[in-house]
Amino acid sequence: MTRFRQTTAMLAIAATALLASTASARDQIRIVGSSTVYPFSTVVAEEFGRSTSFKTPIVESTGTGGGLKLFCAGPGIETPDIANASRRIKSSEIELCEKNGVSKITEVKLGYDGIAIARSKESDSINLSLKQIFLGLAREVPTPSGDFVANPNITWKDVDPSLPDVKIEVLGPPPTSGTRDAFNELALEGGCKTFPAIAALKNTDKTAYKRICHSIREDGGYVEAGENDNLIVQKLVANPSALGIFGYSFLDQNRDRIRGSLVNGVEPDFDNIASGKYPVSRPLFFYVKGEHIGKVPGISEYVREFVGEKAVGDYGYLADRGLIPAPSDERKQIRADVETGKVVTLAAEN
Amino acid sequence: MRNCAMVDPKSHWQSQRFKSRLRRRNRFERQFRYLGIAAIALAGLSLSVLLVSVLANGLGATYRTEIALDIEFDPEILGIEVPGAGETAEITASADFRAVLRTSLMQRFPDAEGRSEVRELVALLSRGAAAELADRLVEDPALLGQRIEAWIPASDDVNFWLKSEAGDSGSNSRLSERQVAWIEALAADDRVARRFNGRFFSSGDSREPELAGIGGALIGSALTLLVTLAVSFPLGVAAAVYLEEFAPDNRWTRQLEININNLAAVPSIVFGLLGLAVFLGLFGMPRSAPVVGGLTLALMTLPVIIIASRASIAAVPFWIRESARGLGASPVQVVAHQVLPIAMPGIVTGTLLGLARAMGETAPLLMIGMVAFIVDVPTNFTDAASALPVQIFLWADSPERGFVEKVSGAILVLLALLGILNGAAILLRQKFEQHW
């Protein structure tokens, strides 16, 4: 019968664990969202846990869209307190939040991230204009007569005779990634707009404009290499003729193996991204749930740590990790907004 | 075959046709054997390539580069009130341990001048060095005001530079020429060394490779597997006993059997979604908690345990049951006293294999929030925790280069644990299995 008693004991343990878990107040901040913001968010979380008496926040990397979905699920204590985002919250997401009773959202811009188009250090540096990027990667490109044909360019030389005669082979993130969204918007659309006929289309047929400017070729010129940027770096090292697309922090950390390509003649380095000269850069945000301030200890303190000069300043510890700080005036404004608890509304959007 | 008898047997099996056929058959036999050997050699080769590369990288994870510095815990530099006689100083987290490190480095290298040069000098040390110094002083407050020689963790870049040193010129390194000169000066004094890194096994996750450890993930995995075991073992064995010993053989039980077999083959992410919907959604359990992870993995492991247990119970010879019944044992007594003890080695083997599989899972944990950056080492079933494979996944995705060897180190630990579990399963089977 000892076996029976053991089994009962084990069941009892499981049952207690279940009961204990159902009723719990939280003393630890929960953060979800973008994988691009994750490296910065975790560094701040660790520093925050180390230098204060609060517990170290838990950071999950769910992607911007997935994170905001969890964030907007409701005001309850079981939902996350902060959502990281590599793009601004969409009006549809604010609506979802409001529908579920989350209305006190504060937006905090933490800085900028450049999207690098990099290559192995073994090959020469390459200088691409946004127009050339579009011609190399778009699914459909315009012909001189004004029609659109499936992208016929096979080598970069086909795109522009001044470019090297290597096959177009670009490794980049899949469509679920915020980096891909930003790349489409900044690089592809940026190059797309340089054709006057397409730019005119924006006013007449917005869906056609979007389809042309945001579609990436699927015939092998662009390879979806997954969300793991380290993998892209490794593939670039193994294949010196290929190009790779990823966040600036990965270029910064792997400078001994890969080099960034110039875009519109501008090199992707710290100063150029910070000053806005480098064209493919985007702001990074996180969103704070006002309903949880006061219920979960430490949220305001965490936000203050994040926007402090020590973290996001020109010489802050996040700059060492590849974050591009916002200009100093903007940082002051952000800090002021955080102190007053400025709330995101639908009107402020778009 | 009958006409065989009509020819002379000797001439038949010594005929040319027979011999050539025999040769062909022998040749085929040989080729088949070589094919088998080649397959095993290929598998062995790829396994050894994997193991060698993981070992070569991973052993480095238990070491880290440290620099010996003369540290003075000067209350003035720290910004701490000097304690009066008989009082102990209050050491707060706000004390400026960075300043202590900076002062120490600047005393060693007075040639560093200006803000940017000092920044470069400080960048030789790990960003977590200050926190480690703070821990040391908290542990031993008597050190305040003392001057000691301490080994301070060096930064990741220094670590890499030393590894790839071999005279590589500065162009391929993230260190500046000045920094290289400083490190070389320190190395000439025997003040730079690779030292055993105990933190790797005890501490939680960190964004500094030299501070990150698998302690948190190990405890998380252990707590998760405990819950998995506690839930799936009794349920699985009970289900197997009922189905094998008591259930009537009708259409309903046959359906059940098919379903259980199918469940064992369902992709693990599906169980993660189930866990998300049921445990988090319906019951409102906390995210990232080992209890939820354990329950989710228990769902995944249950069919494996049921199938293994049923096979093991079915293998118990019928005459054991008949004899027990003949001696007057009730059906429950037959099962509890005779069948289960005999079937137990097989059941435990199946359970251990199921647990080994559960330990290597990441996909179900993704959905319930255990794939997260968690610094604090969990202490109970409801604390946020990650698990070993999750930690490997998170580190592999980090931009810092130092995590490469951490990944291999964590893989080594995971492989060792899997080896222990599987080894235990084999051992149990060999030791207790009975043959009739």
Could you tell me the residue range of the domain that residue B406 belongs to? 215-432
- Between CA B287 and CA A82 the distance in angstroms is 15
For the entire predicted model, the pTM comes to 0.78
Give the tens place of pLDDT for each residue, A201-231.
Answer: 888 888 888 888 888 988 888 988 876 778 8
Length of chain B: 436
The pLDDT value recorded for residue A13 is 59
Domain check: are B151 and B280 in the same one?
no
Q: Is B309 within 8 Å of chain A by CB?
A: no
- Between CA B44 and CA B52 the distance in angstroms is 12
B248 domain residue, yes or no: yes
Q: Chain B 98-137, CB below 8 Å of chain A: which residues?
A: 119, 127, 131
Domain check: are B168 and B228 in the same one?
no
Q: Please give the order of strands across the beta sheet that includes B147-153.
A: B147-153, B63-72, B192-196
User: Is-contact B376 B382, C-beta < 8 A?
Assistant: no
Compute the average pLDDT of residues A178-205.
Answer: 84
Q: Which residue of B has its CA nearest to A70?
A: B369
Return the top range by mean pLDDT from A158-162, B68-72, B221-225. Answer: B221-225
Do A17 and B384 count as a contact with CB atoms less than 8 A apart?
no
3-state helix, strand, coil in chain A (%, to 5): 45, 20, 35
Q: Is A15 within 8 Å of chain B by CB?
A: no
pLDDT beyond 70 at B300: yes
Q: Which residue of B has its CA nearest to A250?
A: B399
Domain check: are B179 and B326 in the same one?
no
Give first-to-last CA distance, chain B, whole Å: 40
Average pLDDT of every residue of chain A: 84
Under the banding of pLDDT at 50, 70 and 90, the label for residue A21 is very low
- Between CA A214 and CA A188 the distance in angstroms is 7
Which amino acid, residue A160? Answer: D
Six-digit token pair at B200?
A: 């790797």
B197 domain residue, yes or no: no
Kindly report the backbone phi and psi dihedral angles of residue A195, in degrees, each rounded to the nearest multiple of 5, phi listed first: -85, 115
Do B372 and A52 count as a contact with CB atoms less than 8 A apart?
no
Strands A82-85, A30-33: pairing kind: parallel
Domain check: are B157 and B99 in the same one?
yes
Compute chain B's Rg from CA coordinates: 32
Average pLDDT of every residue of chain B: 86
Domain check: are B72 and B143 in the same one?
yes
Number of cross-chain residue pairs from A and B with Cβ atoms under 8 Å apart = 115
Give the tens place of pLDDT for each residue, B356-384.
Answer: 999 999 889 988 889 899 998 999 898 88
Tell me which residue in B172, B283, B399 faces A39 most closely, judged by beta carbons: B399
pLDDT beyond 70 at A3: no
Compute the average pLDDT of residues A258-275.
Answer: 86
- Between CA B78 and CA B366 the distance in angstroms is 43
Q: Chain A 151-170, CB below 8 Å of chain B: which residues?
A: none
Contacts of A15 (CB under 8 A, 6+ apart): none
B336 domain residue, yes or no: yes
User: Is-contact B414 B392, C-beta < 8 A?
Assistant: yes
Do B230 and A53 count as a contact with CB atoms less than 8 A apart?
no
Compute CA distances A94 → A71, A74, A254, A340, whole Å.
Answer: 10, 12, 37, 20
Give the tens place of pLDDT for each residue, B240-250.
Answer: 999 999 998 89
User: Is-contact A136 A117, C-beta < 8 A?
Assistant: no
Give first-to-last CA distance, chain A, whole Å: 70
Do B401 and A255 count as a contact with CB atoms less than 8 A apart?
no
Domain check: are B107 and B243 in the same one?
no
Do A42 and B207 count as a contact with CB atoms less than 8 A apart?
yes
- Between CA B340 and CA A7 the distance in angstroms is 13
pLDDT beyond 90 at A16: no
Compute CA distances B48 → A130, A234, B52, B54, whole Å.
Answer: 47, 22, 6, 10
The pLDDT value recorded for residue B170 is 46
All residues of chain B having their beta carbon less than 8 Å from the beta carbon of residue A2 are none
Higher pLDDT among residues B221 and B86, named by residue: B221
Query: Mind telling me how many Å the CA of A299 is from chain B's nearest CA?
Result: 17
For residue A263, the surrounding DSSP H or E stretch is strand A262-263
Domain check: are B275 and B145 in the same one?
no
Under the banding of pLDDT at 50, 70 and 90, the label for residue B23 is very high
Compute the average pLDDT of residues A273-301.
Answer: 88
Q: Which residue of A has its CA nearest to B284?
A: A22
Mutate to test the interface with A, among B118, B283, B397, B404 (most CBs of A within 10 A): B397
Q: Which residue blocks in chain A are alpha helix, DSSP H?
A: 2-22, 38-51, 64-71, 91-99, 130-137, 156-159, 178-183, 189-192, 196-204, 206-214, 229-238, 248-253, 270-275, 299-307, 309-312, 317-320, 328-340
The pLDDT value recorded for residue B373 is 92
Give the tens place of pLDDT for each residue, B380-433.
Answer: 898 889 999 999 998 988 877 788 888 999 999 999 999 998 898 888 888 887
Domain check: are B371 and B252 in the same one?
yes
Q: What is the CATH number of the domain that holds B262?
A: 1.10.3720.10
B25 domain residue, yes or no: no
Q: Is A11 within 8 Å of chain B by CB?
A: yes
All residues of chain A having their beta carbon less than 8 Å from the beta carbon of residue B287 are 30, 78
Which amino acid, residue B382? Answer: T
Q: Chain A 210-229, CB below 8 Å of chain B: which residues?
A: 227-229
- Between CA A285 and CA B345 the distance in angstroms is 56
User: What is the CB-side half-sphere exposure of residue B390 using CA atoms within 13 A?
Assistant: 33
Q: Chain A 57-86, CB below 8 Å of chain B: which residues?
A: 58-61, 78
Domains and CATH numbers, chain A: 27-113+282-340 (3.40.190.10), 114-281 (3.40.190.10)
Domain check: are B188 and B238 in the same one?
no
B257 domain residue, yes or no: yes
Q: Which residue blocks in B242-339 are alpha helix, DSSP H?
A: 251-263, 268-275, 290-314, 318-326, 331-333
Domain check: are B87 and B118 in the same one?
yes
Give the tens place of pLDDT for each residue, B55-64.
Answer: 888 887 888 8
Query: Mind telling me how many Å the CA of A113 is from chain B's nearest CA?
Result: 14
B61 domain residue, yes or no: no
Do A21 and B376 count as a contact with CB atoms less than 8 A apart?
no
Q: Which residue blocks in B75-176 are alpha helix, DSSP H?
A: 75-78, 97-108, 114-122, 129-139, 156-163
Q: Chain A 236-295, CB below 8 Å of chain B: which residues?
A: 249-250, 252-256
* β-pair partners for A224: A172
Question: 């580190």: which residue's tokens?
Answer: B395
pLDDT beyond 50 at B209: yes
Q: Which residue blocks in A215-285 are alpha helix, DSSP H?
A: 229-238, 248-253, 270-275
Overall number of domains in chain B: 2
Under the banding of pLDDT at 50, 70 and 90, the label for residue B86 is low
User: Is-contact A235 A102, C-beta < 8 A?
Assistant: no
Q: Which residue of A has its CA nearest to B376?
A: A56
Give the tens place of pLDDT for each residue, A303-345.
Answer: 998 998 888 887 788 887 878 888 888 888 888 888 887 777 6
Tell me which residue in B172, B227, B375 faces A256 most closely, judged by beta carbons: B172
Compute CA distances B393 → B262, B362, B411, B415, B420, whole Å.
Answer: 28, 8, 10, 15, 22
Q: Is B240 within 8 Å of chain A by CB?
A: no
B17 domain residue, yes or no: no
Length of chain A: 350
Do A56 and B399 count as a contact with CB atoms less than 8 A apart?
no
Which amino acid, residue A217? Answer: R
Which amino acid, residue B336? Answer: A
Domain check: are B183 and B332 in the same one?
no
B104 domain residue, yes or no: yes
Domain check: are B229 and B167 in the same one?
no
